[in-house]
Amino acid sequence: MSWADFHIRCRYILKGQRLLTLNSKAEHLLERVPETGRYVFLNPKTGAPYQLHEFYYLHERILKQAGLP
């Protein structure tokens, strides 16, 4: 996801034709992420933007660590 997709002051993300509203917690967290490049989330191992399948595996790992199905 690129920084161009985020509109923090207006509290939304525009991705394609989808408009997603940010809650105040998400807004606060995104404001703390430094804009060091074009993309918001980079894979620390590769320095490249995360691919969709990588988000899936990260999400699965987080659920497992939290003890959720």
Instruction: Please tell me the pTM assigned to this model.
Output: 0.61
Tens of pLDDT, residue by residue, the chain (69 residues): 888 887 766 777 777 788 888 888 988 888 898 888 899 888 889 989 988 889 889 889 999 999 998
Question: DSSP assignment of 10-39, as one string?
Answer: GTEEEETTEEEEPPHHHHHHHHHS---SSB
The type of residue at 29 is L
Q: What is the pLDDT of residue 24?
A: 87
Q: What is the pLDDT of residue 67?
A: 94
Determine the Cα–Cα distance for residues 11 and 27; give it in Å rounded to an integer.
Answer: 7
End-to-end CA distance of the chain: 27
For residue 61, report the phi and psi dihedrals to the nearest 5 degrees: -65, -40
Is residue 7 within 8 Å of 14, Cβ to Cβ? yes
Q: What is the pLDDT of residue 48?
A: 92
Sketch the domain layout of the chain as residue ranges.
1-38, 41-69
